[in-house]
Amino acid sequence: MRRKPTIRDVAKKAGLSLSTVSLVLNKKGYVSEPTKQKVLASLRNWITPTAKRAGLASNLSGNIGFILTDEHFSQSEPFYTRIFLGSELEARKHNYYILLTTVGKTISNRKEYPGFIRQQC
């Protein structure tokens, strides 16, 4: 696993001073567009995008969740199977993931929520 880059690493790769890189990263002061692009290009060499990182940047998880009660799902399973399969096929085209979970008839507190909901709240 690679180590995390420091501002020194970015500056060295871009051939710029620490203060210039800092101005670009903190969006403070004037830095010419070509210089900004050098810093960003240097960063791209260090950072590997992942779905999780992209979600942090855009505030989107890339997930679409379905939550049904156990009872309702078991009574209507063939209907929901079609919905989930169609949703999954369409979501896949747009790099989204489908999450499906069932819960009891009543949820009395937050600790009983499915994990993927607790992590988003």
**pLDDT tens digits for range 29-75:** 899 999 999 988 888 776 655 555 555 445 556 777 777 777 777 77
The answer to whether 98 and 66 have CB atoms below 8 angstroms apart is: yes
pLDDT in tens, 69-100: 777 777 777 787 788 888 888 888 888 888 77
Helix or strand run (H / E) with residue 100 = strand 97-103
Instruction: At 98, give phi and psi (nearest 5°).
Output: -100, 130
Q: What is the Cα–Cα distance from 88 to 64, expressed in whole angstroms?
A: 9
* Structure-token pair, residue 85: 């399969």
Helix or strand run (H / E) with residue 66 = strand 63-69
Claim to verify: residue 81 and residue 42 sit in the same structural domain: no
* Structure-token pair, residue 30: 């004037």
Claim to verify: residue 61 and residue 114 sit in the same structural domain: yes
Claim to verify: residue 22 and residue 76 sit in the same structural domain: no
2 occurs within a structural domain: no
Q: Is a pLDDT exceeding 50 seen at residue 1?
A: no
pTM over 0.85: no
